[in-house]
Amino acid sequence: MAKYIGKRLLRSLLTLLIIITIVFSLLRLMPIEGYFQNYEKMTTTQIQVGLQQLGLKDPLPVQMLHFWQGVARGNWGESHKYRVGVDVMTIIAGKMPLSLALGMAALGIALLLGLPLGILMARSASSKWKILDRFGTVFVVIIQAIPSAIYHLLIQFYGSQLPGFEMFFSAGKPITWLLPIFSLSLGNIAYYAMWLRRYMVDESNKDYVKLARAKGVPSAQISRRHVFRNAFVPLAQFIPTSVILTLMGSLYVESLYSIPGMGGLLVQAIQLQDNTLVQALVLIYAAISILGLLVGDILMALLDPRITLGKKEGGR
């Protein structure tokens, strides 16, 4: 296991290196307005001198070398538009904890609501309460089919009209945390409910469940002790996907509720065309999603003793 994890870690690192290289070279094509505060008023020579000073006239490999040297020293460059002259890492570090807290809360809520919903749907699928399964399926279909941008918007719109709720986020008021967290977790709730139901229905048609039923084990116990435990294992591989879903959702939700987090920052940086900030944020997001996939793989291996990922065909 340790060998597998080590290998997987090394591979992720390599992937990250390749991706950063590609993203870095791609971002050299960015509009050069993004490096200057008052681009419109500058003359061509001023712009050229400015670019020279920023080291953007150097050949690409040299730029890359400078970038890596900077990153190794913890220097990711300075913001050019958002907060002029401030190190981008200082800006991002101030915003990261909030995004992390929101994302974690959303994931937790998705698991807390999605898993019981899946169990409920699976159990009612074969009983007289079929209507519950139908309702659950309709909910899942709606959440999956409607663009997330739309339902985030509608939740903000109608949710803020409820008494006590507010349209925008303020860190001091706990009630303003509810709507964005709920919005973020909704997609994952549907996702978990759908797949857990599917796996549980598959699992409950197997022989060992029939045997347990024939022995007279109460059905609640069967679904808790046998069906759920076996159906949960493949769900672990969805955790990375849901981390990525939450990350991408946070881009939209954070700027919608004007939450001062990382997702909102990326949107703002794009709108302001602040190149260094965009670059740093894109790299961080790529790193987080690669990490998420890694954690998901390891988690699956830990949860299910039957899976040995060390094999050549294993993994994703």
Q: DSSP strand E in 174-308: where?
A: none
Residue selected from 56, 89, 244, 295 as contacting another protein according to rule CB under 8 A: 244
Q: Confirm if 117 and 136 have CB atoms less than 8 A apart.
A: yes
**If binding is defined by CB under 8 A, does position 312 make contact with another protein?**
no
**If binding is defined by CB under 8 A, does position 26 make contact with another protein?**
yes
**If binding is defined by CB under 8 A, does position 311 make contact with another protein?**
no
What's the CA gap between 81 and 38, in Å, rounded? 9
- Rounded to whole angstroms, the maximal C-alpha distance in the chain is 87
Closest CA to 81 of 21, 32, 47: 32
Q: Confirm if 182 and 155 have CB atoms less than 8 A apart.
A: yes
**If binding is defined by CB under 8 A, does position 252 make contact with another protein?**
yes
**If binding is defined by CB under 8 A, does position 265 make contact with another protein?**
no
- What percentage of the chain's residues is helix, strand, coil (to nearest 5)? 75, 0, 25
- Find residue 87's DSSP bridge partners: 78
**If binding is defined by CB under 8 A, does position 182 make contact with another protein?**
no
> Shortest approach of another protein to residue 278 CB, angstroms?
7
**If binding is defined by CB under 8 A, does position 19 make contact with another protein?**
yes
> Shortest approach of another protein to residue 305 CB, angstroms?
25
Q: How many residues bind another protein (CB under 8 A)?
A: 43
**If binding is defined by CB under 8 A, does position 313 make contact with another protein?**
no
Nearer to another protein, 43 or 205 (CB): 205
**If binding is defined by CB under 8 A, does position 89 make contact with another protein?**
no
Helix (H) / strand (E) element for 149: namely: helix 148-159
Residue selected from 5, 56, 101, 248 as contacting another protein according to rule CB under 8 A: 248
**If binding is defined by CB under 8 A, does position 10 make contact with another protein?**
no
What's the CA gap between 196 and 190, in Å, rounded? 10
Nearer to another protein, 116 or 202 (CB): 202
**If binding is defined by CB under 8 A, does position 137 make contact with another protein?**
no
Query: CB under 8 Å to 2, separation ≥6 — which residues?
Result: none
Amino acid type, 271: Q
**If binding is defined by CB under 8 A, does position 278 make contact with another protein?**
yes
- Find residue 78's DSSP bridge partners: 87
Q: Which stretch binds another protein (CB under 8 A): 86-94, 141-149, 176-184, 207-215?
A: 141-149
- What number of other Cβ atoms are within 10 A of residue 187's Cβ? 22
Provide the token pair at 271.
């709108």
Residues that bind another protein (CB under 8 A): 11-12, 15, 18-19, 23, 26-27, 29-31, 141-142, 144-150, 153-154, 157, 167, 205, 244, 247-248, 251-252, 255, 266-267, 270-271, 278, 282, 285-286, 289-290, 293, 316
